[in-house]
Amino acid sequence: MSEVQANQSLPYNGVRVVEMTHMVMGPTCGMVLADLGAEVIKVEPIAGDSTRSLRGSGAGFFSTFNRNKKSIAVDVKDPRGCEIVHKLVAGADVFSENFKSGTVDKLGLSYATLSKFNPRLVYVSHKGFLPGPYDHRTALDEVVQMMGGLAYMTGPEGRPLRAGTSVNDIMGGMFGAIGAMAALAQRERTGRGQEVQSALFENNIFLVAQHMMQFAVTGKPAAPMPGRISAWAVYDVFSVKDGEQIFLAVVSDTQWALFCDAFGLSELKSDERIATNNQRVQARDWLLPQLRAHLEAFTAAEIGAVFERCGLPYAPITKPHDLFDDPHLLSTGGLADVTLPPDASGAGQPVTTKTALLPLTLGGERLRLRAAPPSLGQDTQSLLMQLGYSHEDLRQLTEAGVVRCQASQTGGATSASANELASA
């Protein structure tokens, strides 16, 4: 199958998405649709998406969530720039935004405005909160984790702790994509688009709903995960030889027998006080110290090999950067080679690495990387030409700072206006 045929076989091939988003939530929505075959046009401010230059824990944002997209750099505060976006949206199926409340109205990019000249438009808004008493607040992933119970459940008693990745931003973007897919499907029946909203706070509530329901059915508040009463006796991280750590789980009576046989624990296997899982849960206070003392004589690799041979659940304690060399990901195509352009890598030069693909297969195949994250304004010229702008129009718009192209597109002429949509 040729590359063109492969692209045409993707489920959202032929769907055009215009994306005006930044950070993680909105870009995740566009990435999901792009990976599934949609043409996603990222409209960036003249200075570029602010995540292009983030460092620290944000250094991987742009290069992770903006693959398979095109980039056009436009100053939408200029009426000529806003007109360009209107022309893009006129031929689009989906418009995606995550501006602060009220900003799209000021820019003339609200659903009410855009749907007038494109009634079939599916309009996706990514917010901190769905409409209600909190919708005036500024939300971040950490904010909603704290107020939504997730930080309480993650940290030890008295020490609320955010999860170690942008769980609400990423899942919020995924729910935005799911909403867009649902609206596109409904459009097939009604012929009309609609507005879709996804929000960080409500996403977080969905994540902790199981703990809410736990209280509803037991009458007892859920304890933070580090202090919880586990449903299984052996379900923990063990420190073993040479200071290594490994997660081990023994979750059934059959697994308990296998575990005891494998590690020479015949006395514990025959102890009637701990014959069942529930009995072992009640005996954790004295049972786990014995198991820890016994296992600390083994290396993590030795224990892992035994658990693998016996079909018992276990896991090494892995750091994210170690996953680039994970044999399963490498052999199953879970990682794709990518060369990040200088302004997407933040390194001042191209960076060749691997990127994690969507965790699913279609027809037994992983969704391929079709394009690396774009350079700022990489597609400005081609998209404007598609909209009917001439080379002279492009030159004038570039010199006026309304659009920005890659240097190679305009003979080195670029605009460096300080307009920043992300902070609009």
Q: Rounded to an integer, what is the distance from CA 58 to the centroid of its chain?
A: 13
Cα distance between the two ends of the chain: 45
Q: How far is CA 150 from CA 63, 290, 347, in A?
A: 27, 32, 34
Which pLDDT does position 413 carry in this prediction? 35
Cα 259 from Cα 144, distance rounded (Å): 41
Say which residue the tokens 């786990």 belong to.
Answer: 288
Rounded to two decimals, what is the model's pTM?
0.89
- The full set of domains in the chain, from first to last, is 3-207+335-409 (3.40.50.10540), 230-316 (3.30.1540.10)
Which pLDDT does position 229 carry in this prediction? 75
Cα 179 from Cα 199, distance rounded (Å): 12
Cα 238 from Cα 241, distance rounded (Å): 10
Say which residue the tokens 């750590």 belong to.
Answer: 245
Which pLDDT does position 348 carry in this prediction? 76
Cα 70 from Cα 19, distance rounded (Å): 10
User: How would you write the pLDDT of the chain (424 residues) with one tens digit per residue?
Assistant: 556 656 778 999 999 999 999 999 999 999 999 999 999 999 999 999 999 988 888 889 999 999 999 999 999 999 999 999 999 999 999 999 999 878 899 999 999 999 999 999 999 999 999 999 999 999 999 999 999 999 999 999 999 999 999 999 999 999 999 999 999 999 999 999 999 999 999 999 999 999 999 999 999 999 998 877 788 889 999 999 999 999 999 999 999 999 999 999 999 999 999 999 999 999 999 999 999 999 999 999 999 999 999 999 999 999 999 999 999 999 999 999 999 988 876 667 888 999 999 999 999 999 999 999 999 999 999 999 999 999 999 999 999 999 999 854 444 333 333 333 333 3
**Token output for 192:** 């009309």
**Token output for 36:** 């599934």
**How many C-beta atoms surround the C-beta of residue 364 within 10 A?**
5
Which pLDDT does position 4 carry in this prediction? 63
**Token output for 186:** 């409904």
Which pLDDT does position 409 carry in this prediction? 47
User: Are the beta carbons of 40 and 173 closer than 8 angstroms?
Assistant: no
Cα 26 from Cα 218, distance rounded (Å): 37
